[in-house]
Structure 1
Amino acid sequence: MTGKKMLFSTFGKVLLLAALWPVQALAVPTCESNYSGRTDYIHTSAQILSTGVTISALRDLPIGSVLFRQYIQPVNMSSGVRNCTLSSPDLETEKIYYSAYWEPDGALPAVSGQYNGGNVYETGVPGIGMTVGSNKNALLNTLPFRNNFYITVGEGNAMAASTRIIGSDGLEVLLVKTGNIAAGTWNVPINYPPIVYYVKYEANLLNPPTQAPFTDYGYRLTISGSVNVVAGTCQTPDINVPMGTHSINRQTQTTEWVNFNLQLNNCPPMYGRYNRKSPDTYSTAMISWVDNTANSSGEIVKSIGKPDTPNDISFRLNPVSGYQTLAAGGSCAALTSDSDTAKGMCIEIQNNASENILTNSQANILTDANLALQQTTASYAIPLKARYARNTESALTGGKANAAVEFTINYQ
Structure 2
Amino acid sequence: MLKFVHTLSLVLLMVVSLMAPPAQASTCSLVNGSTLQPMSPVVASPVIQGSITVGRDIPIGTILYKSTYWGSAAIPAYKCDVGGTGYLSYEINTAPSYGLSTWVAPNGAKVYLTHIAGIGVYASNETPGNTGGGIPWTGSGFSLAGGGVTGFMDPTGNATMTSFVLNVVKISNTVGTGTLTSADFPTVKYYFNSTNRFPYLQSNAVAGSVVVVAGTCTTPDVYVDMGSHAVSELTGIRTGTAWVNFSAQLTNCPAFFGYNQYRVYPFAGTSTASSLASNAINFTIQAVAGWSAGADLGVLLLQPDGVHPTATGIGIQLAMGSNGANVINQNAYPLGSVSVTATPQNYSINMSARYIQTNSTTAAGQANGAATITLIYL
TM-score range, shorter chain: 0.7 to 0.9
Asked if 1:325 corresponds to 2:263, the answer is no
Asked if 1:227 corresponds to 2:228, the answer is no
Q: For residue 148 of structure 1, report the CA deviation from its aligned partner.
A: 2.0
Q: Percent of pairs identical after alignment? A: 24
> After alignment, is 174-183 or 255-264 more displaced?
174-183
Q: For residue 35 of structure 1, report the CA deviation from its aligned partner.
A: 4.8
The separation in 2 between residues aligned to 1:409 and 1:46, in whole angstroms, is 40
Per-residue CA deviations over 1:39-75 (Å, capped at 9, x if unaligned) read 997372414231xx21111222111111111211254
The separation in 2 between residues aligned to 1:350 and 1:265, in whole angstroms, is 22
When the two structures are superposed, what TM-score results if normalisation uses the length of structure 1? 0.71
Task: Tell me: CA distance 1:104–1:251, structure 2 relative to 1, closer, same or farther (3 Å).
Answer: same
Asked if 1:114 corresponds to 2:114, the answer is no
Match of 2:138 among 139, 146, 151: 146
Q: Where do residues 321-360 of structure 1 align in structure 2 (5 Å cutoff)? A: 321-326=289-294, 329-337=296-304, 338=306, 340-352=309-321, 354-357=325-328, 359-360=330-331
Q: For residue 263 of structure 1, report the CA deviation from its aligned partner.
A: 0.2
Per-residue CA deviations over 1:8-48 (Å, capped at 9, x if unaligned) read xxxxxxxxxxxxxxxxx9xx998673453999973724142
Asked if 1:312 corresponds to 2:306, the answer is no
Q: Where do residues 41-52 of structure 1 align in structure 2 (5 Å cutoff)? A: 42=41, 44-50=43-49
The separation in 2 between residues aligned to 1:77 and 1:223, in whole angstroms, is 23
Paired letter, 1:44: V
Match of 2:87 among 68, 91, 99: 99
Q: Where do residues 195-206 of structure 1 align in structure 2 (5 Å cutoff)? A: 195-201=188-194
The separation in 1 between residues aligned to 2:357 and 2:144, in whole angstroms, is 79
Paired letter, 1:233: T
The separation in 1 between residues aligned to 2:296 and 2:271, in whole angstroms, is 56
Match of 2:180 among 183, 188, 191: 188
Q: For residue 407 of structure 1, report the CA deviation from its aligned partner.
A: 1.5
Q: Where do residues 41-190 of structure 1 align in structure 2 (5 Å cutoff)? A: 42=41, 44-50=43-49, 53-73=50-70, 75=72, 76=74, 78-82=76-80, 97-108=85-96, 109-112=98-101, 113-117=103-107, 118-136=109-127, 138-151=130-143, 163-166=151-154, 167=159, 168-181=161-174, 185-190=177-182
Question: Are the counterparts in 2 of residues 83 and 163 from structure 1 also a CA contact under 8 Å?
Answer: no
The separation in 2 between residues aligned to 1:41 and 1:313, in whole angstroms, is 50
The separation in 1 between residues aligned to 2:44 and 2:30, in whole angstroms, is 23
Match of 1:218 among 176, 189, 200: 200
RMSD, aligned CA = 3.3
The separation in 1 between residues aligned to 2:39 and 2:189, in whole angstroms, is 11
Question: Are the counterparts in 2 of residues 58 and 232 from structure 1 also a CA contact under 8 Å?
Answer: yes
The count of residues paired between Structure 1 and Structure 2 equals: 335
**What 5-or-longer segments of structure 1 have no aligned partner?**
1-24, 86-95, 202-212, 275-285
Match of 1:36 among 31, 34, 55: 31
The separation in 2 between residues aligned to 1:119 and 1:217, in whole angstroms, is 20
Q: For 2:131, what is the secondary structure of its paired residue?
A: coil
Aligned to 2:236: 251
**What 5-or-longer segments of structure 2 have no aligned partner?**
1-19
Q: For residue 350 of structure 1, report the CA deviation from its aligned partner.
A: 1.7
Task: Tell me: CA distance 1:101–1:398, structure 2 relative to 1, closer, same or farther (3 Å).
Answer: same
Task: Tell me: CA distance 1:228–1:216, structure 2 relative to 1, closer, same or farther (3 Å).
Answer: same
Q: For 1:125, what is the secondary structure of its paired residue?
A: coil
The separation in 1 between residues aligned to 2:226 and 2:130, in whole angstroms, is 55
Question: Are the counterparts in 1 of residues 27 and 196 from structure 2 also a CA contact under 8 Å?
Answer: no
The separation in 2 between residues aligned to 1:55 and 1:329, in whole angstroms, is 38
Q: Where do residues 378-389 of structure 1 align in structure 2 (5 Å cutoff)? A: 378-389=345-356
